[in-house]
Amino acid sequence: MINLTLPDPIVGQWIWLSETNLNQESHQFYRRDFSIDEMPGKAEMWITARTAFHLFINGQHCASGPTANPGENSYVYCVNINYLLQVGNNQIAVQVFNANAPLTGFRKKHSGFWAQLQINDQPLVWSDENWKCLIADCYVYPGTIQALGAASVEIVDFRRFPHNWQQMDLGGGPQTASTDGERRRSIPKTIWYRPEIILNEEKGRKLLEPAPNPNDIIETCSWDKIPYTGSVRQIRQLLWLNFANLCKKSGPGIYIAETYLYSDKECQQSVECFCDRPYKFFLNDNLVAEQAVKPVPVHAPAQNRGDRRLSMDDYRPTTMELSLRKGWNRVMWAQDCASHGAGMTIVWVDTPNGSLQIRRQAMEKSSESWSQAGPLKT
């Protein structure tokens, strides 16, 4: 494989549409139409984004990326789109995501999207203020990030997703659609805006770096041994808890849960605890860990966080030590819950699955579950 070199000249500019909510991740949809009179001999789309993109040509998904760059630059992909073009009008559509937080392998970087279409090695279309941008309201809640540096999981309301946005009329505006020929329902607004140039071609090219040749990547682990093929099994003890059903019924607030662990001896055990919400974790009435908990004035009502995602400074380290006593150990978990979330997961580092008894009450015949209550009033 030949190492890539950036196109010359660079005319693309870094663009973005400003948003009012700067504390959450961003999802933006970009469109640009262009026409050709004849099929080209060569058509390459050079593209990158912070943090990630999905590229569509004439409605067909053809690329996603980029690979995480450990520095301040962004890797640029070169995508052959010649087989997707047609004589006449063509549509470029790009969905761009910025995490506004450090994720697995990704540093936190400012939002931005850059692209340049080369036809027969000459620039034809590039990212500038002539593109159209849509901020869809289908991402009602922030994505869940269970731990510092972990992946981000999207939460999408598909009832409000701008379906066929890759090829719809860019005139946009409110629309209606009929359901079963009986009633008409409002569908999401699709108003397209002009993005802003955040870096011109001169300053922006300094942040562009050709994607590395896969043959030059040094693997840090061996792929010779495959432990499992076609099946998965749990090998470590874990605890999982989610207040979703209770929260859906009673609304956001502070919820608590209780369960019991049985240990045949007094010991220390290492665990990894993952949660994307504020919490307090008690073992035998002793506080083991807490995350993003703000002091509450005496006799004041509890203030829940709502749907706001935790900032990276709010997450505590996932590793913790549990001091188990011989016999039954009471576990109590208090969590600030909203309308979404990944719940809580505790994974034992060295304890095989099934080696701990987990019961709703301190007796062997009790069910293997949690007792849940809430929301708390004070």
- HSE of 213, CA atoms in CB hemisphere, 13 A: 7
pLDDT of 181 > 50? The answer is no
Name which of 368, 341, 339, 343 is nearest 354 in CA terms.
368
**Contact (CB, 8 A) for 254 and 246:** no
- HSE of 368, CA atoms in CB hemisphere, 13 A: 8
- Rounded distance, CA 115 to CA 28, Å? 15
pLDDT of 174 > 80? The answer is no
List the structure tokens of 100.
């506004």
Range of 3-7, 169-173, 357-361 with top mean pLDDT: 357-361
pLDDT of 372 > 80? The answer is yes
pTM value? 0.70
**Contact (CB, 8 A) for 242 and 346:** no
- HSE of 169, CA atoms in CB hemisphere, 13 A: 6
pLDDT of 184 > 80? The answer is no
Question: pLDDT tens for residues 76-123?
Answer: 999 999 999 999 999 999 999 998 777 767 778 889 999 999 999 999
Q: What is the mean pLDDT of residues 51-59?
A: 95
Q: Which residues pair with 45 in a beta bridge?
A: 79, 117
- Rounded distance, CA 267 to CA 311, Å? 34
- pLDDT confidence band for 378 (50 / 70 / 90): low
List the structure tokens of 151.
């992946």
List the structure tokens of 304.
């829940």
- Rounded distance, CA 138 to CA 141, Å? 9
Instruction: Give the distance from CA 323 to its chain's centroid.
Output: 34
Name which of 141, 280, 222, 200 is nearest 14 in CA terms.
200
pLDDT of 222 > 70? The answer is no
- pLDDT confidence band for 156 (50 / 70 / 90): confident
Question: pLDDT tens for residues 119-132?
Answer: 999 999 999 999 99
List of domains in the chain: 14-216 (2.60.120.260), 236-373 (2.60.120)
Question: pLDDT tens for residues 4-24?
Answer: 789 999 999 999 998 766 557
